[in-house]
Amino acid sequence: MALAGASTAEAQELSRPTGSLEATTDHRRRGLSWSDGDPALDAIVSVPVAGLRLDARGTTTRGARRHGGADAVFDASATYATQLASGISLSAGATGHFFAGSDVKADYGEIDLGVGYALGPLQFDVAASYAPDQAAIGGDNLYLQARASAGIPGTGIDLAAHVGRTSGSTDDPVLAARLRPELGSYVDWGIRAERRFGPLALGLRYSGTDVNTRGVAASPFADVDDAGDRVTAHAVVFF
């Protein structure tokens, strides 16, 4: 889900179909690698339809142990966004995650809600994604996130930082370790710096978690090696 509260430029982009193709040294979500620590490709297409934004995303997961050896994940989401007041926006939607080549039933869905506030070049967002109790993730899962971003005028450089918290209940500790390696809650954080060159962007991301890699659950899905601090590089083409 794209966080609520798009800037004016982003809002203009969301009024027409957009897309991007990214190559990264490691595809990470919520501080955890989804590509088994290996380089990955990530493609996104967004289309506005009848007041909604429909997003389709495909990411190579490189046989990730976290997702049962899946080769790729395909995300489909629908989001409704509205302005509550000047600079304040609300979005709500749902996202399905579908895994290709997994040795287990790995697909699951989430409900998304976000509020954003734009102040000049600054953008502040808070968002929640909730996955109801599902067998594929061994329980339910809640992700809360706060994010700040800004473009530095005249430089083409965008900066962003976030902090998030993942929690949930556990029915099956083996599968719950996919999204919560210690089965309890954990916190993740990250910083991104990106430089635009027309339709091309180059950047770096740092992400980390407070996951104790020596205390993770005894599960083949916990993927201990890919829950620590990491700096990744990426290149994106926008169209």
pLDDT 10s digits, 96-115: 999 999 999 999 999 999 99
**Which pairing describes strands 18-24 and 230-238: parallel, antiparallel, or unpaired?**
antiparallel
Average pLDDT of the chain is 92
Number of domains in the chain: 1
In a domain, 110, yes or no: yes
What is the rounded distance in angstroms from the CA atom of residue 146 to the CA atom of residue 101? Answer: 33
In a domain, 132, yes or no: yes
Q: Is the pLDDT of residue 4 over 70?
A: no
Average pLDDT over residues 157-184: 96
Beta strand ranges found along the chain (DSSP E): 18-24, 28-29, 32-33, 40-49, 52-64, 70-85, 88-100, 108-119, 122-134, 139-152, 157-167, 186-197, 200-209, 230-238
What is the rounded distance in angstroms from the CA atom of residue 212 to the CA atom of residue 230? Answer: 15
In a domain, 208, yes or no: yes
What is the rounded distance in angstroms from the CA atom of residue 230 to the CA atom of residue 239? Answer: 28
Domain span at residue 212 reads: 8-238
CATH of the domain at 193: 2.40.160.40
What is the rounded distance in angstroms from the CA atom of residue 89 to the CA atom of residue 127? Answer: 12
Structure tokens at 178: 């996919």
In a domain, 162, yes or no: yes
Phi, psi of 174 (to 5 degrees): -65, -50
What is the rounded distance in angstroms from the CA atom of residue 113 to the CA atom of residue 79? Answer: 9
Split at pLDDT 50, 70, 90, the class of 11 is: very low
- Number of Cβ atoms within 10 Å of the Cβ of 24: 21
In a domain, 1, yes or no: no
The residue type at 108: Y
3-state secondary structure of 171: coil
In a domain, 150, yes or no: yes
In a domain, 3, yes or no: no
- What is the per-residue pLDDT across 140-164, written as a single tens digit (0 to 9) for each? 999 999 999 999 998 999 999 999 9
Whole-structure pTM value: 0.92
| Residue 214 · residue 201 · CB < 8 Å | no
